[in-house]
Structure 1
């Protein structure tokens, strides 16, 4: 009687799978969600003026609400699941930004910490459930472990991606290539017999920097080797793409995992020998990637002597003249970010300053379509000074005096 009751209770606690099948659509929408999530976070941070900490608190509350909705469901619902992924991606990114910008934790340290934390999550998950397969997400504890792992992978992907850009100084287009090549390597390894769970989570981590860098490439001005769409257009394009894919998945149900008890036996059986060989292959790829980063970090990506200098209009304008025709509220945001960056430089917080100036770049690019028609000359003057400041902070061997001078010149131009 007791065994029958326990079995019935166990069956009652089991649900249909709460996550989608891993198809090509899974990876497409995962990358799209990553891009939109980061862009939306930037918009909240720069437009509403609530600051990074306020934005993180806001999204933590939103995450709790959305995740609660997801956990209450008894089956996979595409809209709710992918909404949760977007919010988790934003929240994980913000947590990394807080470590870098507010607590001045070096990106190398935060990357290492998140990697260890992810290993701990996986270790506890496996010790309790004896599986890490997403096909086994049919109980509440497993789903909780799953979402915790997803949150940490986004934070880890953000830290690792930002650290890579800091080391290499790569532009938007080039920065897409490394995570893309690594993802291809993961796929090849899986096809040749790598462990399915390992391959899945490696790809999941790598799609975070890929999606973010892809968004930067689309949004960055053509003068910075981007496609020049701007953050607003990029966000709309990716959001429409997400909506289309989610609608397709909702009606087609092509990514719904069948009841695990009714699933057919897998066609292939894990081969321990092949898994070990492919583990060695992944290790080799990691070594090669590290070598590429070391090589790239050693190459000069500083401000060169033939960098274009300011034209007559730049030198002729007095303090504040360049920004005189722009909305005061927007100019105030530019000044606040620039002043904050100066403070970080003077405090010796180089990593935090480099990350903070990215907020200025994002806000400036987003407002280009609005500000440039108001005063093209003023916009060009400020754009040039922002470029100088960006290059001063992103050089391989930054000099505090040069950075401070570039930022001070920008503050003077802003008025």
Structure 2
């Protein structure tokens, strides 16, 4: 019975490899989103619609799957981060909400999502994502966190004037502190997981911008297509090196 329950959890076990792939996926979301909206010149709205369709298709496939499939899971994560990138850029730049306003709204939506999820199911741990209802909450929460991360990363790097490297050091430092708290304290593992999960997105956002923005703006001016391909390759290598197993179900 325990083995069957474990198979119903279609999200991966949280390991070092998980975090490596997650950071790469969020960075890919930035370079990939910019490649479609800027390099292809489709604009933020059209790009958001395209990525939203991909996201809906990926989530539908993920929810219909009978067991954990690493490639499908990470495809869905990349879909959330690309649509999050273009959605945040559309709201911040096209609608004129601004990074601060967009970040505040998305943070509120994220907290509401986690609050409703906890109230309905009694837990927001990834180990409880073993039912369609929990999966819906899981992916909605991830969508909000990915979109928030884009706005927060751009706000820190651009509006706050810290630049891409300065912002990367800040978010990287916060992730390091979260890791220290995991090993040195008894703070809720679920709280630390979502804290780290959220922080990886702005880190990925500023790393992605650092790779593809012009040198005059503090970036490396690399091809968005080339950077995206390199990140996909890195993710595939990590998936081969670090075995992806489903998280153990919580009873």
TM-score past 0.5 threshold: yes
**Alpha-carbon distance, 1:87 to partner:** 0.4
* Other-structure match for 1:233: 226
* Other-structure match for 1:174: 166
* Other-structure match for 1:119: 111
C-alpha contact (below 8 Å) 2:32/2:225 kept by paired residues: no
**Alpha-carbon distance, 1:185 to partner:** 1.3
C-alpha contact (below 8 Å) 2:31/2:224 kept by paired residues: yes
* Other-structure match for 2:46: 54
Query: What are the Cα deviations for residues 240-267 of structure 1, in whole angstroms up to 9, with x where unaligned?
Result: 1011122345xx44x3324545xxxxxx
Instruction: Find the aligned partners of 2:21 and 2:171 in 1 and give their Cα distance.
Output: 17
Structure 1's 187 and 128: CA in aligned 2 closer, same or farther, altered over 3 A? same
User: What is the correspondence of 1:125-204 to structure 2 with a 5 Å cutoff?
Assistant: 125-191=117-183, 192-204=185-197
Deviates more, 1:218-227 or 1:171-180: 218-227
* Other-structure match for 2:203: 210
Query: What are the Cα deviations for residues 194-231 of structure 1, in whole angstroms up to 9, with x where unaligned?
Result: 11111111111111111122223334456665455443
C-alpha contact (below 8 Å) 1:172/1:214 kept by paired residues: yes
Structure 1's 48 and 227: CA in aligned 2 closer, same or farther, altered over 3 A? closer
User: What is the correspondence of 1:269-288 to structure 2 with a 5 Å cutoff?
Assistant: none
Structure 1's 30 and 225: CA in aligned 2 closer, same or farther, altered over 3 A? same
**Alpha-carbon distance, 1:36 to partner:** 1.1
Instruction: Find the aligned partners of 1:239 and 1:70 in 2 and give their Cα distance.
Output: 20
C-alpha contact (below 8 Å) 1:14/1:139 kept by paired residues: no
Aligned length: 247
Structure 1's 195 and 121: CA in aligned 2 closer, same or farther, altered over 3 A? same
Query: What are the Cα deviations for residues 309-336 of structure 1, in whole angstroms up to 9, with x where unaligned?
Result: xxxxxxxxxxxxxxxxxxxxxxxxxxxx
**Alpha-carbon distance, 1:239 to partner:** 1.3
1:84 and 2:76 are equivalent in the alignment: yes
Structure 1's 193 and 260: CA in aligned 2 closer, same or farther, altered over 3 A? closer
C-alpha contact (below 8 Å) 1:18/1:137 kept by paired residues: yes
* CA RMSD between the two structures: 2.2
Q: Which runs of 5+ in 1 are unaligned?
A: 1-11, 262-415
**Alpha-carbon distance, 1:237 to partner:** 1.7
C-alpha contact (below 8 Å) 1:221/1:230 kept by paired residues: no
Instruction: Find the aligned partners of 1:186 and 1:52 in 2 and give their Cα distance.
Output: 33
Query: What are the Cα deviations for residues 95-138 of structure 1, in whole angstroms up to 9, with x where unaligned?
Result: 21121122111221111111111111111111110011101111
C-alpha contact (below 8 Å) 2:9/2:130 kept by paired residues: yes
Question: Looking at CA atoms only, which structure, 1 or 2, has the larger radius of gyration?
Answer: 1
1:28 and 2:20 are equivalent in the alignment: yes
Q: Secondary structure at the match of 2:8?
A: coil
Structure 1's 94 and 224: CA in aligned 2 closer, same or farther, altered over 3 A? closer
Instruction: Find the aligned partners of 1:189 and 1:246 in 2 and give their Cα distance.
Output: 26
C-alpha contact (below 8 Å) 1:172/1:220 kept by paired residues: no
Q: TM-score, normalised by structure 1?
A: 0.56
Q: Which runs of 5+ in 2 are unaligned?
A: none
* Other-structure match for 2:34: 42
